[in-house]
Amino acid sequence: MDPATFGPEGTVWSSTVLRIRVADRKPPAVLAYVDFDEGPRSLTHVDGAGDRALTPGTRVRLLGRDDRGDPVVTPVAADDPDDRRAPQ
């Protein structure tokens, strides 16, 4: 398998909140499937969403990986100058 480069921004396809403990992760945990720009769809953990699922279509930015190697994203503010959304 060859390494791939994509992102770091993407669009939420679907999101949910886990309100039960999974392994040693404390609830609530927000997860989202993200379609990364010029890349794959990936299941990610969401930082900065509190305890609410993200709305499909929300733009996010990849922050990196958590201590388990899982990808972590954060919502991009609508007025963020680094947000490279396609014009509406």
- How confident is the model over 44-77, as pLDDT tens digits? 999 988 899 999 999 999 999 999 899 999 999 7
CB 61 within 8 A of CB 87: no
Please report the domains of the chain, with CATH numbers, ordered by start residue: 9-75 (2.40.50)
Taking 60 as the threshold, does the pLDDT of residue 5 lie above it?
yes
Q: Which of 38, 35, 34 is nearest to 5 (CA)?
A: 38
Taking 80 as the threshold, does the pLDDT of residue 7 lie above it?
no
pLDDT tens per residue across span 24-51:
888 999 999 999 998 899 999 999 888 9
Residues 6+ apart with CB under 8 A from 33: 12, 13, 14, 15, 41, 42, 43, 44
Res. 17 pLDDT band, cuts 50 70 90: very high
Rg (CA), the chain: 13
Taking 70 as the threshold, does the pLDDT of residue 20 lie above it?
yes
Residue that the structure tokens 């010029």 belong to: 38
Q: Using CA atoms in the order 43, 76, 52, 14, what is the torsion angle rounded to 10 degrees?
A: -40
pTM of the model: 0.81
Residue bearing the bigger pLDDT, 23 or 15 = 15
